Amino acid sequence: MIDKRSIHSGTGSNRTGCPHRREMLVVPILLLSSIWIVGCRNGDGGQPERRGATQGKRDVWSEVANGEDIYRWRCASCHLSDGRGVPGQFPPLAGSKRTIGDPEIPVRIVLHGMAGPLAIDGVQYDRLMPGWHDQLSSHEVAAVVSYIRSAWGNRAPAIDTRTVERVMGKYPGRTSPWQVKELER
Ligand code: HEC
């Protein structure tokens, strides 16, 4: 309502031949666009909360939101966007113990990959997941791991970049994928 009135008064002065009519139009247009931008920002900021991520801090929300994008581009082709995977080929991440347990385990899997036979709920898997250490920054690994730990009903706390860097420091130079046995040790 307010915006309409401002535009109207702008055009009104145009009719009366006001010499500053351009300026009078620019002001309400700038006002309109800033209201629109602020409105959109607020909308985006609220989304992760509605999706039910796990922790209350604002910066954690934005981490999880960023993680969702990384997941969509890097992981969903195999594990699918709903995290349910493909039985016998790509294991589900929704409800996955290795995803929501000790946070270092999903970090190791994302950094270096995973190979070899494993069974989840009676379904056998024996394929190779490639590692992402040379394609994702430690910040991105933290974001995507935080996302998979809090999406699709998973309820594990987010992790930070320091956790990823600590894991990298423990296995310097490692490039080969983890066998399930190594992850269980
Ligand atoms: C090319 C397909 C592919 C892509 C892309 C992929 N994965 Fe995987 N992922 C797999 C396979 C296959 C396994 C199981 C490997 C095995 O059989 O030992 C797996 C296993 C996992 C596991 C362990 C699940 C469990 O319960 O044991 C996690 C966690 C995981 N992936 C996360 C990710 C994340 C996060 C990404 C994106 C950064 C990703 N994966 C991208 C194929 C993929």
- Give per-residue pLDDT as tens, 142-157: 999 999 999 999 999 9
The span from the CA of 159 to the CA of 161, in Å, is 7
Look at ligand 1, atom 18, and give the residue with the nearest C-alpha. Answer: 115
The answer to whether 106 and 98 are in contact (CB under 8 A) is yes
The span from the CA of 99 to the CA of 146, in Å, is 10
- Cβ–ligand 1 contact at 84 (below 6 Å): no
Residue 172 predicted with pLDDT over 90? yes
- Probe ligand 1: pick from 75, 81, 86, max atoms within 8 Å of CB? 75
Quick one: what percent of the chain has pLDDT higher than 90? Answer: 64
R_g (Cα) of the chain, nearest Å: 24
- Cβ–ligand 1 contact at 144 (below 6 Å): yes
- Cβ–ligand 1 contact at 78 (below 6 Å): yes
The span from the CA of 152 to the CA of 53, in Å, is 10
Q: How far is the CA of 78 from the centre of ligand 1 (A)?
A: 7
- Which pLDDT does position 156 carry in this prediction? 98
Residue 18's contacts (CB-CB under 8 Å, 6 or more residues apart) are 24
Of the given ranges (23-32, 41-50, 120-129, 174-183), which has the lowest mean pLDDT? 41-50
**CATH architecture of the domain with residue range 54-184:** Orthogonal Bundle (1.10)
- Cβ–ligand 1 contact at 113 (below 6 Å): no
Write the pLDDT tens digit of every residue in 23-49.
555 545 554 454 454 444 444 433 444
Q: How far is the CA of 57 from the centre of ligand 1 (A)?
A: 28
Look at ligand 1, atom 7, and give the residue with the nearest C-alpha. Answer: 129
Look at ligand 1, atom 5, and give the residue with the nearest C-alpha. Answer: 75
Write the pLDDT tens digit of every residue in 76-88.
999 999 999 999 9
Mean pLDDT (whole number) for 53-57: 44
- Encoded tokens for 8: 């109207």
Residue 127 predicted with pLDDT over 90? yes
The span from the CA of 164 to the CA of 112, in Å, is 12
Query: Domain map of the chain by residue range?
Result: 1-50, 54-184
Place of tokens 């000790």: 102
Mean pLDDT (whole number) for 106-126: 97
The span from the CA of 139 to the CA of 142, in Å, is 5
